[in-house]
Chains A and B, each alone.
Chain A
C-alpha cells in the first residue's frame, strides 16, 4: 500500500511516521485523568464509609467495590471488543474456588475436599497471595477457553461463552470431592476491612485503562467499530480478542477470590445467571464502551438497589413509618433500568469517558 499510493495518502505511509515520530506516552498522558478521577471516586466512597463507621454499611460498600472489579473485568472484554459475553462469571467462580482451596485451614480442607492433591491440602496462604494466584489461574483458564472461543464473533460468541459458563457451573456443582458440590464451602477467612477491596478495584481500573490505550486495546476497538476495515489493515482480530479475554478473565478471577473472602462462603450457584445479568446490566446501563460508564453504572445501580432495600425495610418520616411491599424493590429496579435504556439506548455514558477537558468520544 505504501508503495502504491504515497502521493495520494502521504500521511498513511510509514515514511511520514518515521519522519515525525509521536511523542512518547502522548496517549497515556492525555487519557490518564480518567482512571485517576475514577480512583478518586472510589477513595471518596471509602472515606465516606469510614466516617459513618457502621458495620452493615461497610459490607454494602465492599459489595460495591467487588462489583466495580467484576464490571471493569467485563468492560475489558465486552467494552473493547463489542462482543457480549455471558461467560465471564465462570472465571469469577474459578477464582473464588481457588481462594477457597488455598486459604481454608488444612484440617477443614481435608474433610471438605477429599479429592484435592496432598500438596494443595497442606498449603495455606494469606488471602492476598491466594487472590493473585486465583487471578493467574482464571487468566490461564481464559487463555485455554479463549483459544477456542475467540474464533467466533457476534451472537455465536455470546452463546458459546454462555455454554462455557454453564459447563463450569455443572462441573463445579457435581465434582463433589474437589469442589464440595452444590453445598456451601465454609471456612474461608473473612476479610472485613474495606481497604483491600478498594485497592483491588483501583488496580483493576488502571489495568483496564492501560489495556484500552495499549496497541492491542486500540486495535481491538478499531475492530469493534469497523471489523472489515480493521482486518484489512492487518489487525488479527481473534488474537487481540484473546488478549482482552485473558486480561478480563484474570480480573474476574481476582474479583471472585475477593468475593469469597467478603462473605466467607462459596457455592457454584452464587456465580451463575443472577450475577452474570446484574453485572452486564450495570455495564450496559453505564455505557458499554466506556470504562467510566461501567464504574459509574455500578455505583449508580448499587445506590439504587440499596435505597430500595432501605425503603423495603421501612423508613419513618416524622411519625409515619412506611415501607414498600416485599418484591417491589426488584420490580422498581427493572422498571428504572428499562426507562434509562429507553432514554439513553447507548447507556448513560455511551462511548465517552469522564475527564476534565471536553472530549469527543473514542
Chain B
C-alpha cells in the first residue's frame, strides 16, 4: 500500500515538475511550449559525448553530483533562454496557435539535432548507481531514488514558492502572469521577466532529465515527448496559467495512472491510458477552466 503511494508520488513529481515548466511560460506569454520535452531530452544528452554507439560514452555524467546537478540545470536554462532569444522573441504579437506551431517546429529542430549527433537508438547509462539501493521505511522496501525524487520535488516546489512570493523578481513574474500589459505599464520589464520564466522552466527541465535518467537508466530521444504530453495535460486540467493548479494536477495524473494500474482488472490493464485520458475528458467537461482557474485568463466582453 505504501509502495503504491510512493509510486504515485514519484510519478506525480515528474508530471508536476513538467507541468510547472509549461505553466511558467504560459503564464507570462500565453505560449504553450511544445519544445519543452525536447529541452528535457537535450539535458539528458548533455551528459553524454556525441556518438552513435548503443553504449553511451558518459562525459559530463562522470562529474561528482554536486557539480553534475548545477551543470544539467544550467544546460536546461541556457538552452531555454537561447530558444527565447532566437525564436520566441519574434512571436510576441502572434496568436497562440502560431506560437504553438513555432514551438513545435523548434522542438523538431532540437530533436533532429540530437538525432544527428546521437542516432535514434536508446542508450543505457548508469547514472549515480548508488541511488538505486532499496531502503526500508515503515516496513516497505523502496528504492532510495524514489524517496530522493519526492524530496527533491518538494524542495524545488518550496524553493519556487519562496522565490515567487518573497523576491522582487518573483513578484514581477506573478504580476506579469496576471496581467501582462498592466504589469508593463507599472514598470515591469517584459523581456527580463519572460527571460526569467524561460530560465526557470529550462532549469526545471534539467531537473526532470536528471530524475528520469536516474530512474530509467536509458537516454532516449523520444522520452521528453512522453513526459511533456502528460505535463501539458496536467497544465490544462490544473487551470492554464495557475502554477499551483499545474502541480496539483500533475500529482493527480500520476496518482490516477498508478492507481488504475493496480485497480483495473487484468484484461483491461493494457487499456489503462485510455481510462486515464477518459478521466481527463471528464474533468475538462466539469471544469473546462481547470481545477484552479487563474485570474486574468477569463475573456472579458
Contact = CB atoms under 8 A, between A and B. Distances in A.
B65 interface: no
A285 B94 CA distance: 13
B91 A342 contact: yes
B203 interface: no
A19 B281 CA distance: 48
Contacts of A162: 229, 233
Interface stretch (B104-112, B171-179, B180-188, B257-265): B104-112
Contacts of A155: 32, 96, 236, 240
B116 interface: yes
B278 A167 contact: yes
A334 B116 contact: no
B109 A335 contact: yes
B225 interface: yes
Interface in B279-300: 280-281, 284-285, 288-290
A228 interface: yes
A307 B233 CA distance: 36
B98 interface: yes
Given A164-B277, A341-B102, A345-B91, A148 B285 contact: yes
A338 B236 CA distance: 25
A167 B301 CA distance: 36
Nearest to A273: B225
A280 B102 CA distance: 11
Interface in B123-166: none
Given A164-B281, A228-B301, A284-B97, A159 B236 contact: yes
Given A148-B285, A152-B288, A345-B93, A327 B98 contact: no
B95 A327 contact: no
Name the residue among A159, A281, A284, A330 with the largest chain B CB count within 10 angstroms. A159
- Of the four ranges (under 10, 10 to 19, 20 to 34, 35 or more), the interface on chain B belongs to 35 or more
Given A163-B280, A166-B273, A151 B108 contact: no
B64 interface: no
B84 to A, nearest CB: 13
A84 B97 contact: yes
A175 B269 CA distance: 11
A281 B109 CA distance: 14
A334 B108 CA distance: 6
A261 to B, nearest CB: 28
A171 interface: yes
17 contacts: A152-B285, A155-B96, A156-B236, A159-B233, A159-B236, A164-B277, A164-B281, A166-B273, A170-B274, A171-B274, A281-B105, A334-B108, A337-B101, A337-B105, A341-B91, A342-B87, A342-B91
Interface of B: 32, 87, 90-91, 93-98, 100-102, 104-106, 108-109, 111-113, 115-116, 225, 229, 232-233, 236-237, 240, 270-274, 277-278, 280-281, 284-285, 288-290, 301
